[in-house]
C-alpha cells in the first residue's frame, strides 16, 4: 500500500499528489502538491514515487522559508467572529458524534458533570476579569487550521480570545446537556446560537473566489488577458492570504492591496534578487534598493481594474457586501497627450512618399497589410489587431454604404480590445479613391478568407505584432522624432481629426473610434453602434488631414468628383 500512497491516475496518466501542511496554506494555498510522472504504467509510477516525494519535501522546505518572511497580519473583529463560529460548529459536531457513538457509561456520569461544571466556572471567571490570555494556545491551533498568520497585537486577535472563551463555555453546557440526554439544547450566547441556527455561511476563501471568478470569466479571455491576471492573483494571495475569508474583507484590506500595488517593482517576476520572496517582502526589499516601480497605467489599467472587476463580481454574487477597492486609482502625472505623439503633417508626407506607397505597391513583398494597414489606421482610427484580423467577408454593403465590420468571432479566434470596439466603419472616401474596394474584390476572387493573408496571433492571442514591429522599423528608417512614434500614433492623428471635425467626445465620434459611449449605453440597432451606416459615413467624411496630399495613391475617381464637387 505504501508504494501506491499519494499516487493518482488522471486521463490514464499517473501523478504524485500530496497535500501541503495547513500551516503553509498562507503561502501555497489549499491546492495540493502535484507532479506529473509522465507514465501510464503503475510500476513505473511506483519507481518514480521516491523522486516525487523528494520534490514535495523540497517544496515544503521552500514554503516554510517563505512563510517565515510573511509578516503576521491583523485580524478584524468580523473575521474573528467567523473563525471562532466555524470552530464552534466543528466542535459541536464532534460532541454529537461522540455522544452518539461513544456514550459515557453510567458510573462516569457524575465525574463528567463535575468536570464540565469546573470548566464553566473557570471560563466564567476568566471572562469576568477579561483574563483570556490562557486561550492563546487554542487560538494558535485554530488559526493554523485556517491557514492564517495573525498579529497578536491586533484588536481582532483579542476579540478572538474572548470568543474562544465564550465558545468553550457554551460547548461545556452543550456537552453537559448531551450527557443528560438533551440533544435539543441551544446556546444562550447569541453569537453561537446564530452560528447553529444559520451556518451561512460556509467560508469562501480568496482562492475560492479566484477559482469561481475564473470559471465564469476566463472562457472569454484572450491568452494575454489570462496571463495578465496571474501577477494580480499573486499579489492578492500574498497580501491578504489565500485562505482569507472573503466575507471578512474590509476597506482597510482594499487600501493595503492598493498601497502594495503602487509599490510593486517593475518586472517583479524577472528580478533575480526578488525571486522566491512573497510580494510584501519583495516590495520592501525593492524599495530599499531603489528599484523603479510600475507606472500609473499598469496600476490602474491592470492591477486595480482586474481586482475591482473581481470584487465587483463577488458583490453581485453576494460573497461580499461592498467592493473593498472601488475607486482606488492613482493620478497619472503625465498628461495623456504627452504619452504618444501623433505624426505631424510633414512626417505623414515623409512616410507616404516612400515605399511601399511611392512607387505604389499595394502588395509589397506579398504583404498587402504593409500597404493598406497604415492607411486604414490613419483614416479609420483602427487598432493594429482590428486591421490584422479583417476578413474579406467583413467588407460589405450596409444601407447602401460600403463598411468594414470589426467583431469578435470565436470560430476564427478573433477578438476585440473591448466590447465597444465591435462596430461598423464606413470605408473612407480617400480609401475608395486609392482602390481599397478593388483590392477587396481581388482578394475575394483569389478565394482568400483573410483580407491580409499571413496575419496570425502571437502566443498571447494578440494580432498585428509583426505588422507593428515592421512599421516601427519603417519610422526609424525615416529618422522621425517624437514621443513613442509608431503605428498607434495614427490613432492619435484620428482622434485629433475627430476633434477638428467637432466630433471628439461625441457619441458618434466614440462609435467611430470604438470607444465607450457616454453613460455606458451602447445598445443600438446597427452592430451595436446605434447609428445607421449613412450617418456614420457622413461623419467619417469630415475626418481630413489638411495639408496632406495623397493624390499619388488615387486610382479611382469618385462619382461626386466627376460632378465637380
pLDDT of residue 547: 93
Q: What is the CA radius of gyration of the chain?
A: 33
- Chain centroid to Cα 199, Å, comes to 31
Q: Rounded to whole angstroms, how far apart are CA atoms 427 and 537?
A: 8
Check if the beta carbon of residue 68 is closer than 8 Å to that of residue 24.
no
Q: Which three cell numbers stand for residue 190?
A: 447569541
d(CA 259, CA 261): 6
461 CB contacts (<8 Å, ≥6 apart)? 222, 223, 224, 413, 415
pTM: predicted TM-score of the whole model, two decimal places:
0.47
Characterise 427 by phi-psi region: left (phi > 0), alpha (psi -120 to 50), beta (else).
beta
In 407-508, which ranges are E strands?
423-426
The 3-state secondary structure of 482-534, one letter per residue? CCCCCCCHHHHHHHHHHHHCCCCCCHHHHHHHCCCCHHHCCCCCCCCCCCCHH
Average pLDDT per 10 consecutive residues for the chain, totaling 565 residues: 70 86 77 86 83 82 71 81 88 75 59 73 79 87 81 87 90 81 80 72 80 86 81 91 86 92 90 86 88 88 92 89 90 57 92 90 84 94 89 90 78 49 87 94 90 76 82 90 85 90 83 66 44 89 93 71 38
In the CATH hierarchy, which top-level class contains the domain 345-562?
A: mainly alpha
pLDDT of residue 431: 94
Give every strand in the sheet of 7-10, ordered side by side.
7-10, 13-18, 33-36
Q: What is the dihedral of CA 13, 19, 24, 28, to 10 degrees?
A: 30
Residue 165 to residue 170: CA distance in whole angstroms: 9
The residues with which 9 forms a beta bridge, in sequence order, are: 14
The number of C-alpha atoms within 13 Å of 52 and in the hemisphere containing its C-beta is: 23
Instruction: Tell me the C-alpha to C-alpha distance, in Å, between residue 403 and each of 428, 432, 452.
Output: 9, 11, 17
Nearest alpha carbon to residue 285 among 296, 274, 293? 274
Q: What is the pLDDT of residue 525?
A: 37
Q: How many CB atoms lie within 10 A of CB 524?
A: 15
Neighbours of 306 (CB within 10 A): 20
The one-character DSSP state at 273 is G
* The pairing of beta strand 401-406 with beta strand 395-398: antiparallel
- 3-state DSSP assignment of residue 450: strand
Query: Where is 10: in which H helix or E strand?
Result: strand 7-10
As a dihedral over the C-alpha atoms of residue 151, residue 157, residue 158, residue 163, rounded to 10 degrees, the angle is -160
CA distance 152 to 159: 10
Question: What are the residue boundaries of the structural domains of the chain, listed by start?
Answer: 7-69, 77-197, 206-316, 345-562
DSSP 102-132: SPPPGGGHHHHHHHHHHHHHHHHHHHHTT--
Amino acid at each position: 500500500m505504501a508504494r501506491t500512497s499519494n499516487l493518482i491516475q488522471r486521463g490514464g496518466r499517473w501523478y504524485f499528489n500530496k497535500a501541503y501542511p495547513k500551516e503553509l496554506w498562507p503561502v501555497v494555498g489549499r491546492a495540493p502538491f502535484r507532479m506529473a510522472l509522465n507514465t501510464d504504467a503503475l510500476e513505473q509510477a511506483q519507481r518514480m514515487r521516491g523522486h516525487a516525494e523528494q520534490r514535495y519535501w523540497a517544496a515544503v522546505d521552500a514554503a516554510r522559508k517563505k512563510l517565515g518572511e510573511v509578516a503576521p497580519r491583523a485580524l478584524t473583529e468580523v473575521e474573528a467572529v467567523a473563525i471562532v463560529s466555524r470552530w464552534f460548529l466543528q466542535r459541536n459536531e464532534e460532541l454529537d458524534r461522540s455522544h452518539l457513538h461513544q456514550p459515557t457509561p453510567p458510573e462516569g456520569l457524575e465525574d463528567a458533570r463535575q468536570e464540565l461544571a469546573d470548566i464553566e466556572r473557570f471560563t466564567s471567571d476568566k471572562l469576568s476579569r477579561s483574563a483570556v490570555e490562557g486561550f492563546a494556545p487554542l487560538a494558535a491551533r485554530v488559526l493554523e487550521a485556517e491557514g492564517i498568520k495573525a498579529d497578536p497585537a491586533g484588536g481582532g486577535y483579542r476579540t478572538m480570545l474572548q470568543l474562544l472563551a465564550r465558545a468553550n463555555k457554551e460547548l461545556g453546557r452543550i456537552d453537559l446537556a448531551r450527557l443528560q440526554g438533551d440533544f435539543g439544547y441551544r446556546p444562550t450566547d447569541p453569537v453561537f446560537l446564530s452560528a447553529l441556527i444559520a451556518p451561512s455561511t460556509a467560508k469562501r476563501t480568496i482562492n475560492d473566489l479566484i477559482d469561481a471568478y475564473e470559471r465564469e470569466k476566463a472562457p472569454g479571455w484572450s491568452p494575454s488577458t489570462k496571463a495578465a491576471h496571474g501577477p494580480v492573483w499573486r499579489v492578492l494571495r500574498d497580501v491578504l492570504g489565500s485562505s482569507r475569508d472573503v466575507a471578512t474583507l474590509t476597506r482597510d484590506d482594499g487600501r493595503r492591496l492598493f498601497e502594495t500595488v503602487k509599490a510593486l517593482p517593475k518586472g517583479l517576476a524577472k528580478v533575480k534578487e526578488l525571486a522566491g520572496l512573497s510580494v510584501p517582502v519583495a516590495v520592501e526589499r525593492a524599495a530599499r534598493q531603489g528599484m523603479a516601480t510600475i507606472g500609473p497605467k499598469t496600476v490602474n489599467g491592470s492591477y486595480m481594474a482586474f481586482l475591482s472587476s473581481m470584487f465587483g463580481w463577488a458583490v453581485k454574487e453576494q460573497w461580499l457586501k461592498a467592493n473593498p477597492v472601488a475607486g482606488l486609482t492613482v493620478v497619472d502625472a503625465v498628461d495623456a497627450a504627452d504619452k504618444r505623439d501623433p505624426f505631424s503633417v510633414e512626417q505623414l508626407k515623409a512616410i507616404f512618399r516612400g515605399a511601399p506607397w511611392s512607387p505604389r505597391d499595394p502588395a509589397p513583398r506579398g504583404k498587402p497589410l504593409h500597404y493598406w494597414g497604415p492607411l486604414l489606421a490613419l483614416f479609420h482610427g483602427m487598432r493594429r489587431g482590428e486591421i490584422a484580423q479583417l476578413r474579406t467577408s467583413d467588407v460589405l454593403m450596409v444601407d447602401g454604404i460600403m463598411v468594414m465590420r470589426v467583431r469578435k468571432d470565436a470560430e476564427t479566434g478573433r477578438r476585440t480590445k473591448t466590447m465597444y470596439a465591435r462596430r461598423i466603419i464606413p470605408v473612407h472616401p480617400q480609401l475608395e479613391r486609392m482602390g481599397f474596394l478593388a483590392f477587396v474584390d481581388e482578394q475575394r476572387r483569389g478565394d482568400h478568407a483573410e483580407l491580409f493573408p499571413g496575419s496570425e496571433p502571437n502566443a498571447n492571442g494578440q494580432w498585428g505584432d509583426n505588422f507593428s514591429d515592421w512599421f516601427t522599423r519603417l519610422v526609424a528608417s525615416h529618422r522621425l522624432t517624437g514621443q513613442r512614434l509608431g503605428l498607434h500614433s495614427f490613432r492619435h492623428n484620428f482622434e485629433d481629426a475627430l476633434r477638428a471635425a467637432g466630433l471628439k467626445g461625441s457619441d458618434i465620434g466614440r462609435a467611430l473610434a470604438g470607444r465607450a459611449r457616454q453613460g455606458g449605453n451602447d445598445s443600438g440597432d446597427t452592430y451595436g453602434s446605434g447609428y445607421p451606416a449613412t450617418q456614420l459615413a457622413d461623419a467619417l467624411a469630415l475626418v481630413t488631414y489638411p495639408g496632406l496630399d495623397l493624390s499619388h495613391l488615387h486610382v479611382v475617381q469618385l462619382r461626386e468628383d466627376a460632378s465637380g464637387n
